[in-house]
Structure 1
């Protein structure tokens, strides 16, 4: 069967057999299919885990925002209260401007009744303090600055380490004052010392877990810090300016501070549009970071891989292991015809049925092969017996012919009977070699030719004449269909060589037989050449006056035709040679009889 047909048949029976060898394995295929089946579940699990983690982070963000609001509740209450007080003063001051002394007395009472305020006053558009709790009549601001604060309808909250109004660091709350026609006439200022906010927080006892709670205004200027404003620059975000964090909604983000430490920042509006609170938190304390996400995502992935590993181990344990055992049994049986018996107690029922079927098949094959060997042995014995009987019968015919030669009166009759006897002995030699051969389908042509040529040379000895006989052969195996015509042709050619042997000018007359192999041609077939040569000159054997029948030449041509070869005959320089060149043939089926015959033979 052609190899390409077997390859196509294997590919049809085993899909993917022509693909990658590793992917053709049952365990790998099953793991791939199971992995694809479980992949949607794994993806859904990872997505759900992502949602849970995101929701947890959102809740943490909300909690952090709430903590930030709770931590800045004191600041918010104080600053909101002071902004409300500044708004109230801004509304009532236009009516107090007629009597500045009464206005200043009102400011003094306000500072005295409100412990967290250390200054209250009104500054006109020129920068002069018109009325206040202290320093009335002084120039506390430049005219352009005073005009700017007077035109600011929203008001402002600023921090000042030292001002013309107060010597201590304070938070300044300013609010524009307008007359009845809504024209700016100045602005009111309230000053809150830093320690007033800290004192309020200590009284309420609010405790937070933040690294720092920082209050800053809309311009991004820090106002209040739990840790202190001296080192506030090291704690604020390195990649975001405070002025860009002013938003009316709370935000949470992760960034590095200017000292290179990773932090979580929360921003909530303390006074929308004016004051904001920045909470600084430790990364390890609150939010789930990238490491938490990776660890959470790895768990369903590891579960998915573990399920594939369990499936592969299960398939290997239940199926592949037994299939490999069956494969070893098949290979052992194919190589040694020995049946391995495995313990099938833990084999699944389906595979056990396959193993039982294989055992029955191997037993039947062994029985069939034993019967076939017996039949072949009987056939060989019968064939050898046939060849032996044929050889005996041919020798009997040769003996009877020899008796007839002795009784013949005429030389021509003796010569014809002797030629017939040589042909019969040639056939007998072939049959003797066949029944003595170990393989009946092959004949050692070199042995056959050597034996037959010596036999003919011995029978052709001329009394009183020395004839040199040389024999050169190479090992050649032929099938009987070619060995028989080759031996018969040799008989005719050697007989003719001795019959027409001539005496050379120098030396003894000679006959040579050469059997050799030639180089293979492009078709790859082995070619054999047989050459029978003899010396020419005066005949060594006296030729009787008789007509040449030409039967020997006809027989040689017929035998060459049977061999499927090409004959040649040459005479040159005192040498006459006859040769044949043919290709070795193989056995083929005879379509008429169904028996085997060599493909190179033809009917004689």
Structure 2
């Protein structure tokens, strides 16, 4: 099937061009995909950098908070209050002065190791205790600065992040905790960090995974992933991951921890906006390479049509005309390649030589046909000459039996002459038309018998069948013997009657000759093939020569039926002696 499909030259050229273009195109596509993967990695790394950038505000705030509490820890007013010898009003003024320039802070406090407030920047020393706060406990136990998670300050009536730093004495014992309350409202109002993608969602999570600040692009925390992903974030199990947000948008997320894991910046970029440009570039590159291949194939198709196949089609038309024995149409090959023009000149030269040879052969065949017709004509004339001689000899006074014998021989010779006449008058000199031949033959036999047509009427029913000359001769002679016998014996005493001569073609290639009369019946019913009279011996010989089967029936009347093959059967091979034993 593949060989059949690749039979035309055009398809083979297309296959060659496709193979030539496919290899570099495949390498180009692989390189484009590899470049796409590299850009994807860069896009993911850029998301991680954006997450770091998004944490600048919080990181700076924590650095600023640490600086403030460090300064407060060394301030004499604060140290005096902690030692129990200070002025509370001076302490509050100092705290207030420390945080007033920064709207991010709601309150600054000095707390005892027991969690009670010694003084506050707000001047409110209402009874409150931070001893049960996790951040306070951690600051006391760890002896370092601590940032809390979501905390609702009752005294401020707003949510805050508590930043606490323990103050120790010379022996390293914690003697106080300096605390700052960072307003979550200020973090939320501070806006998105400049330089971030506008479609990026930025969320601030505490170490429990609770969202503290949600960006405008987050659309009401819809950009957050499921809680299962948030749980992995706070345990440090996922710093980058891809997930579907609660709003149904696929995002690529990057996590940046702050303050040793006290807070987390979670930045998510929609995968569509992150990858779509890269996918578009990849599609453009693949489409470009594909167009190159298609353009190459189109060029191969058009080029093969203009340079090769259209000229080959014209050469094919010329060759087909030469095959049919016609003079090929002259085409203009001026624009064809040199090889095609040379091939066309060769074909035209060959066509001229074939035409000349064909004329020679036709003339030779005509001469041979003329000679063959002349031979048949001369044979017919010679047979007529023999018949005339026999007619002269028959006029010499002799007995009736001898005269009848001469007449029978004349009839047979005339039959042969009629066969040769029909052969040289036929188109191909090898076959004769049985319908016309048999009609002439039965009239010839009746004329030779001397029986007038008004007394014995002949009916001939023969379809248009052709028969070779070799088989027409025995068929004609057999018909002559049967009809001659009918004219002699079927209608004695000038009796009137009818004779039917009919040939019927069978589907299996056989034919059936029927000669029937309504006379008195044969005088010798046993006159079948193999009888002793000369006429019956001839009938049997002609039947065997035709390879047929002859049957006779009657009286009343006589009907002779001959079944024979229109074409001779091939001779059966002769097995060598001892073949059966060998088998």
Q: TM-score range by the shorter chain?
A: 0.7 to 0.9
Could you say if the C-alpha distance between residues 39 and 56 of structure 1 is closer, same or farther in structure 2, counting changes exceeding 3 Å?
same
Aligned CA distance change for structure 1 residues 418 and 190 (closer, same or farther; 3 Å): same
Count matched residues. Answer: 554
Change (3 A) 1:201 1:424: closer
2:17 maps to: 34
Equivalent residue, structure 2, for 1:305:
294
Contact 1:485-1:559 within 8 A present in 2 as well: yes
Gap change, CA 1:537 and 1:57, over 3 Å in 2 = closer
Shift of 1:466: 3.0
Supply the distance in 2 between the matched residues of 1:65 and 1:539 (Cα, whole angstroms).
126
Quote the residue 1:460 is aligned against. 449
CA contact 1:149–1:174 (8 Å) conserved in 2: no
Give the match for residue 469 of structure 2. Answer: 480
How far is 1:457 from its partner?
1.0
- The partner residue of 1:520 within 507, 517, 525 is 507
Task: Return 425-434 or 330-339, whichever deviates more.
Answer: 330-339
1:440 aligns with 2:429: yes
Give, in whole Å, the separation in 2 of the partners of 1:83 and 1:378: 129
Counterpart check, 1:269 vs 2:257: yes
Deviates more, 1:317-326 or 1:255-264: 255-264
The Cα offsets for residues 249-283 of structure 1, whole Å up to 9 and x where unpaired, read as 99666766555566665443344422333445577
Deviations 1:1-48 (A, max 9, x none): xxxxxxxxxxxxxxxxx5575443332233234323433322221121
2:107 equivalent among 106, 116, 119: 119
Are residue 25 (structure 1) and residue 8 (structure 2) matched? yes
Task: Pick which of 337-346 and 126-135 moved more.
Answer: 126-135
Map Cα deviations across residues 162-182 of structure 1 (whole Å, 9 max, x no partner): 512434554322457889999
Contact 1:478–1:584 (8 Å) recurs in 2: yes
* Structure 1 residues 37 and 127: alpha-carbon distance in aligned structure 2, compared to 1, 3 A threshold: same
Once the two structures are superposed, the pairs formed by residues 49-448 of structure 1 within 5 Å of their partners are 49-83=32-66, 99-100=83-84, 102=86, 109-114=94-99, 115-116=101-102, 117-123=105-111, 128-130=116-118, 132-133=120-121, 134-136=123-125, 138-141=127-130, 143=132, 149=138, 153=142, 155-160=146-151, 162-174=152-164, 188-193=178-183, 209-211=197-199, 213-224=202-213, 227=216, 232-237=220-225, 241-245=229-233, 258-259=246-247, 265-279=253-267, 288-335=277-324, 337-448=326-437
Alpha-carbon distance between aligned partners in 1 of 2:171 and 2:58, rounded to the nearest angstrom? 35
Is 1:576 paired with 2:558? Answer: yes
* 2:149–2:262 Cα contact (<8 Å) kept: no
Deviations 1:78-111 (A, max 9, x none): 2134246668989999998973464966675244
SS at match of 1:219: coil
Which residue of 2 is the match for residue 5 of structure 1?
none
Quote the Cα distance in structure 1 between the aligned partners of 2:522 and 2:38.
124
In 2, the alpha carbon distance for the partners of 1:439 and 1:583 equals 21
SS of 2:209's equivalent in the other structure is coil
CA distance in 1 between counterparts of 2:429 and 2:503 reads 23
- Does residue 551 of the first structure (1) align with residue 534 of the second (2)? yes
Alpha carbons of structure 1 residues 136 and 561: separation in structure 2 relative to 1, 3 Å? same
Asked if 1 retains the 8 angstrom alpha-carbon contact of 2:117 and 2:125, the reply is yes
**Cα shift at 1:157:** 3.5
Q: Which moved more, 1:47-56 or 1:131-140?
A: 131-140
Kept in 1: contact 2:434–2:466 (CA 8 A) = yes
TM-score, scaled to structure 2: 0.80
Q: 1:302, 1:198 → 2: CA distance?
A: 51
SS in 2 for 1:233: coil
Q: Distance in 2 between matches of 1:165 and 1:26?
A: 93
By how many angstroms is 1:555 displaced? 1.6
Q: CA RMSD in A?
A: 4.4
Query: CA separation of 1:453/1:208 partners in 2, compared to 1, >3 Å: closer, same or farther?
Result: closer
Distance 2:20 2:181 in 1: 71
- The residue aligned with 1:601 is none
Structure 1: gaps of 5 or more residues:
1-17, 541-547, 590-604
8 Å CA contact 2:451, 2:487 repeated in 1: no
* Corresponding residue of 1:4: none
- For 1:377 and 1:537, how far apart are their aligned partners in 2? 52
**Contiguous gaps of at least 5 residues in structure 2:** 524-530, 572-583
CA contact (8 A) 1:171 1:223 kept: no
Change beyond 3 A, Cα 1:483–1:146 = closer
Moved more, 123-132 or 286-295: 123-132
**Cα pair distance change 1:494/1:182, threshold 3 Å:** farther
Alpha carbons of structure 1 residues 54 and 533: separation in structure 2 relative to 1, 3 Å:
closer
User: How much does 1:72 deviate?
Assistant: 3.8
Moved more, 192-201 or 511-520: 192-201
Distance in 2 (alpha carbons) for counterparts of 1:578 and 1:242: 115
TM-score under structure 1 length normalisation? 0.77
Tell me how far apart the structure 1 counterparts of residues 254 and 238 of structure 2 sit (CA, whole Å).
7
Q: 1:349 to 1:259 in 2, by over 3 A?
A: same
